[in-house]
Amino acid sequence: MSFQNPVFIPGPTNIPEVLRKAVDMPTLDHRSPLFGQILHPALAGVKTILKSETAEVFIFPASGTGGWETALTNTLSPGDKVLAARNGMFSHRWIDMCQRHELDVEIVETPWGAGISADRYEEILTADKGHQIKAVLATHNETATGVKSDIAAIRRAMDAAGHPAMLFVDGVSSIASIDFRMDEWGVDVAVTGSQKGFMLPAGLAIVGFSPKAMAALGGATLQRTFFDVRDMANGYAANGYPYTPAVGLLNGLKMSVEMLLDEGLENVFARHNRIASGVRAAADAWGLSLCAQSPDLYSDTVSAIRTPEGFNATDVVTHAAEAYGVAFGVGLGDVAGKVFRIGHLGSLTDVMALSGIATAEMVMVDLGLNIKLGSGVAAAQEVYRATVPNAAKAAA
């Protein structure tokens, strides 16, 4: 592996030099007013990226998994019923966490490569006349399969069923890369992390709580200490934390949100779509299909590419690392050995993406797959040349 090459895993993502330097800072007194000048702009910036006017944002020294636990433990009680679809490794892990917390999980088993069925959710919620289901879980972007589910459709299904359950969304690999509309979609808890769209090292669990989720705090009896948002809110009011914060990462987050908002969220989303479209064109030119079952499900942050039957897709990842010093993502769970993943989110450009596509192509040719060298690169180049932003065209 080489530190000189960009990574093409779906997180942690490449870190821009300016953010790496922002994280690398001298020690400061985290109980001083100076810390508040880092904390509050970071919180406000995340709120803007969530597209929320009403959310309260909390940032914990943890990963996205800590964000999942924050969502559950602050709003639910042992024995509460939740509804969740299992359509990939990360939805599976959130379900496992629910079960370990002694929640009653109604699982909608879903093929890996399919999105969450809003229609099935509506059927289940409509049948729940006693409103036993307290929360609906949805993984916006299933990183294991490269599938994006329609959160707006899930909210419409909940509203059509007239059900009062809260909506919790795992946006770890979507928020700050793919359009996310917390208020418009009626999301009650949004979960993400620092290491993907925010282009930082792992270490921050970032959650947004709606007023409805905040109102649930008092009645929730699942045990929580480190992840208690009430303690965090009290700390914020005094420009601090209830314990020692990750100051450097928060300083990086403050600058990250500034960079994203300076670029413009719609431009950020368009950039991710453009780069992803090039990767998808390359896969098509190779004669390979995506794990995602249909174009409406294609993720703009990660593509899980199926290799031919009988071929071990993990060999692509291993050979890329050993021969070319480039990192791709392995298949996980039900698709282990069947797909390799190209992450295309965070700090990435068309030119960087082309280097990853070229490497994947060389690897597959090395391993004997029937791939024409240069075919995927050329297909991606056509996409990027046709969709390069107007400002870049004018400067060319």
Kindly state whether residues 256 and 277 are assigned to the same domain: no
Kindly state whether residues 211 and 64 are assigned to the same domain: yes
- Is the model's pLDDT at 55 over the cut of 50? yes
| pLDDT score for 4 | 87
The label of the residue with tokens 């100076």 reads 34
Which domain-ending residue is among 222, 242, 262?
262
For residues 6-22, give the mean pLDDT. Answer: 96
28-53 pLDDT tens trace: 989 888 999 999 999 999 999 999 99
| pLDDT score for 389 | 77
| pLDDT score for 131 | 98
Kindly state whether residues 323 and 214 are assigned to the same domain: no
Tell me whether residue 11 is in a domain.
no
102-153 pLDDT tens trace: 999 999 999 999 999 999 999 999 999 999 999 999 999 999 999 999 999 9
Q: How many CA atoms lie within 13 A of 326 on its CB side?
A: 23
- Cβ pair 350, 384 in contact under 8 A: yes
For residues 171-182, give the mean pLDDT. Answer: 98
| pLDDT score for 2 | 72
| pLDDT score for 152 | 98
- Is the model's pLDDT at 394 over the cut of 80? no
Tell me whether residue 1 is in a domain.
no
Q: Which domain holds residue 144?
A: 17-262
Categorize the per-residue pLDDT at 396 as very low, low, confident or very high, splitting at 50, 70 and 90. Answer: very low
299-313 pLDDT tens trace: 999 999 999 999 999
Q: Which residues of 228-240 are buried (b: 16+ CB within 10 A; e: fewer)?
A: bbebbeebbeebb
| pLDDT score for 262 | 98
Kindly state whether residues 150 and 238 are assigned to the same domain: yes
Which domain-ending residue is among 262, 285, 304?
262
- Cβ pair 337, 208 in contact under 8 A: no
Kindly state whether residues 185 and 328 are assigned to the same domain: no
249-277 pLDDT tens trace: 999 999 999 999 999 999 999 999 999 99
The pTM (predicted TM-score) of the whole model is 0.95
Kindly state whether residues 97 and 223 are assigned to the same domain: yes
Rounded to an integer, what distance in angstroms lies between the CA atom of residue 345 and that of residue 343?
A: 6
182-240 pLDDT tens trace: 999 999 999 999 999 999 999 999 999 999 999 999 999 999 999 999 999 999 999 99
The SS3 assignment for 217 reads: coil
Categorize the per-residue pLDDT at 1 as very low, low, confident or very high, splitting at 50, 70 and 90. Answer: low
Kindly state whether residues 252 and 270 are assigned to the same domain: no
